[in-house]
Amino acid sequence: MAEIGAARSEAERTLEAAIVQVEAWAGRRMSYHPVSGGISNTNFRVVVDGEPHAYFVKIPGRGTEMFIDRKAARAASLQAETMAVGPRTFDYLDHLDIEVSEFLGDRRPSTHRDCIDRAFRAGVVQIYRRFHEAPPLPLTKTVFDMIDEHYAQVEELGGHWPADHAWLYRQYQEARAALEASGLDLVPCFNDPMPGNFLVGADNSIKLIDFEYASNNERLYDLAIWSGEHFFPESVEQEIIEDYFGHYDKSLHARFIVHKALADIKWSTWAMVQNRMSTLDFDFYKYGIWKHMRARSIIHDPRWPLFLKAL
């Protein structure tokens, strides 16, 4: 743990300058340590003498204001806290757009191995259902809004386009038209199912963290992007649909698969924005190219036209 005054990086200097402004911590000894795993921001565990728990403090990454609405993220975090889906949050540094929450030291980040267990997957499905059933969030941002936003940003920044960008864009437009024609089912969505955003307790209970990308969005997108993140086979996707809706339906599965392709297009394009803007030590170009490849693999499936018709 580093003490105040020991900062060596820009993020650490920003952290120190911020936490000394917290009135509730004034005059107390504070120390901090980086928390690994994030690819948007720099995160820290902060220990304050006399406090019963540590704090999780998030320093926004360079350029993230281009696609993260911090006030909307704060509202989503508060809603999750109220529902006991997320950790306790604090408004200490809201004026700096710096997120502060309770560090859940008695929980561990989930891994892909956890999701091999059907009981664990069922628990995740239930926590998704709870979040989806909450009142609407102040921000409505569909996957279409996200893709359009990132396309414009890549264009503005002179970022990388794949050689078949025009083809991918046409596939996106066709999928969007089919989904919009069928009607959108908008609910509060988490939108960011990296394994580390699911914290597991000793009793196998689950809490969500990191609501920066949360918004009102298409219900099945939230489940589809989770499946894509964990490489679930279609047999597991069938179980997820059955667990969530109480029955399996082929048209729901078609919608699910279309959203998986859109999720990869969204995050591949996001990665090309980050490749131009971020200062984090992460290979965003490689990540984006890989996401582009997986989107193609879904769209090239001979069943793709049938999926679009089934919507």
Model pLDDT for residues 198-238, shown as the tens digit of each residue: 999 999 999 999 999 999 999 999 999 999 999 999 999 99
Quickly list H helices, 133-249: 143-157, 165-182, 219-230, 234-245
* 292 touches 264 (CB < 8 A): yes
Structure tokens that stand for 100 in this block = 């502060």
What is the distance between the alpha carbons of residues 287 and 82, in angstroms, rounded to a whole number? 34
Locate tokens 């059955």: which residue? 242
pLDDT recorded at residue 16: 95
pLDDT recorded at residue 37: 80
pLDDT recorded at residue 1: 87
pLDDT recorded at residue 20: 95
Q: Is the pTM of this model over 0.85?
A: yes
Nearest partner of 62 among 234, 288, 281, judged by Cα: 281
Is domain 108-310 in CATH 3.90.1200.10, yes or no? yes
Domain ranges for the chain: 2-102, 108-310
pLDDT recorded at residue 38: 81
What is the distance between the alpha carbons of residues 285 and 179, in angstroms, rounded to a whole number? 29
All residue ranges of the chain with pLDDT < 50 are: none
pLDDT recorded at residue 159: 96
CATH of domain 2-102: 3.30.200
pLDDT recorded at residue 220: 98
Q: How far is CA 285 from CA 161, 263, 265, 289, 290, in A?
A: 11, 17, 14, 6, 9
Contacts 24+ apart (CB under 8 A), 23-26: 23/92, 24/92, 25/51, 25/92
- Which H, E and C letters describe 16-82, residue by residue? HHHHCCCHHHCCCCEEEEEECCCCCCEEEEEEECCCCCCEEEEECCCCHHHCCCHHHHHHHHHHHHH
pLDDT recorded at residue 17: 96
Please give the helix or strand (H or E) that residue 187 lies within, else none: strand 186-189
What is the distance between the alpha carbons of residues 288 and 257, in angstroms, rounded to a whole number? 19
- Which H, E and C letters describe 198-225, residue by residue? EEECCCCCEEECCCCCCEEEEHHHHHHH
| 3-state helix, strand and coil shares in percent for the chain, rounded to the nearest 5 | 50, 15, 35
Strand partners, 206: 200
